[in-house]
Amino acid sequence: MSLPSSSESVAANVLVVEDDRRVTDGLVCGLTEAGFSVRAEASIKAAREAIAEAKPRLVILDLGLPDGNGLTFLRELRRFGESLPVIVLTARDSVEDRVEGLDEGADDYLVKPFSFPELLARVRARLRNVRVSGTEILRVADLEINRLNRSVKRAGVNIELTSKEFDVLAFIAQSAGHPVSRDMLTREVWKLNNRVALMDNVIDVHISRLREKIDHGHERKLIRTIRGVGFVLDASEA
């Protein structure tokens, strides 16, 4: 994986400001594969130029940068009335930091080590700018998820799900072929902030029940586990 050189005149729609090269490499590679054009900078000074030059549509900003605190830069961005969405990355996770980050105008806040699927989901959500609620009926192959009346059909047959099972399924379906990590499920479905290790049991049980109800008896298995990453609902693989 190689960084796009900063002299390239591609209109980057995502700017990554992070000084750790490994993290940057991973982000650039992942985001590029997800279809974004990415520019990466390792300092506030360079980021300032990049914003003026490349007019990114979203910034992923690490807080610990060599030439200053990312929060100061964020404040600077906001003072000039930039409505540019900013997702803040940090290795510090105290509530105060989080509050401060959001106060300074961060649109979102991820604590290292975040999971890449989660970051990707947040980037998409920010760029889409509108909630996905527009689609009330999600379809994956012959599976139909109706979020309005919370019903699920597979091949036209109604499937009874518990409320949580429905939430899990709808959440995975909504990310449209992109994997959903356990962290994301914990936060978005169970609304728990810190994923305690023991949520694994709870999540596994829900997934295995969903499998039983959705995929059992069907040749095409829709719920797929990507070991070490998370779960994905897709029709691409049998």
Partner 1 sequence: MKKTSLQRRLFTYLVVILVVFILVQLGIYTWVEYRGWIEHPAEPFSVELEEVEAALVLNIVLLPVVLLLAWGASHRMLDPVRSIADTAQRIGDGDFDERIDTNAMADDEMHRLADTINAAFDRYDSAVQRLKRFVGDASHQLRTPLAAIRTMGEVAASRNRSAEEYRDAISDMLQELDRLRGVIEQLLALSRLEHGALRGRFRTINASDVVTGVASLYSPVCEENGIAFEQRADAGLQVNGIRELLTEMLANLVDNAVRHTPRSGSIRVGAQRRDNAIVLFVQDSGPGIPADMAERIFERFFQIPGSTGGGAGLGLALSREIAALHGGTLTLINPGQKGALFEARFPAYRPPAAPTGAASPDRARSSSS
How much of the chain is helix, strand and coil, in % rounded to 5?
40, 20, 40
Looking at beta carbons only, is 39 or 206 nearer to partner 1? 206
Q: Which residues have C-beta within 8 Å of that of residue 227, sequence separation ≥ 6?
A: none
Contact 156, 139 (CB under 8 A): no
- What span, in angstroms and rounded, lies between the C-alpha atoms of 219 and 13? 40
Looking at beta carbons only, is 78 or 178 nearer to partner 1? 178
Q: Smallest distance from the beta carbon of 118 to partner 1, in angstroms?
A: 13
- What span, in angstroms and rounded, lies between the C-alpha atoms of 136 and 147? 5
- What span, in angstroms and rounded, lies between the C-alpha atoms of 167 and 30? 27
Q: Smallest distance from the beta carbon of 235 to partner 1, in angstroms?
A: 20
Q: Smallest distance from the beta carbon of 198 to partner 1, in angstroms?
A: 4
Q: Smallest distance from the beta carbon of 110 to partner 1, in angstroms?
A: 14
Looking at beta carbons only, is 11 or 91 nearer to partner 1? 91
Looking at beta carbons only, is 81 or 113 nearer to partner 1? 113
Q: How many CB atoms lie within 10 A of CB 62?
A: 20
Question: Could you give the 3-state DSSP secondary structure of residue 226?
Answer: strand
Q: Smallest distance from the beta carbon of 195 to partner 1, in angstroms?
A: 8
DSSP 201-219: HHHHHHHHHHIIIIITT-S
Looking at beta carbons only, is 216 or 227 nearer to partner 1? 227
Q: Smallest distance from the beta carbon of 155 to partner 1, in angstroms?
A: 26
Q: At what angle do helices 199-210 and 163-174 cross, to 10 degrees?
A: 80
Looking at beta carbons only, is 176 or 229 nearer to partner 1? 229
Question: Which residues of the shown chain bind partner 1 in the complex (CB under 8 A)?
Answer: 93-95, 113, 162, 164, 190, 192-194, 196-199, 201-202, 205-206, 208-209, 226-229
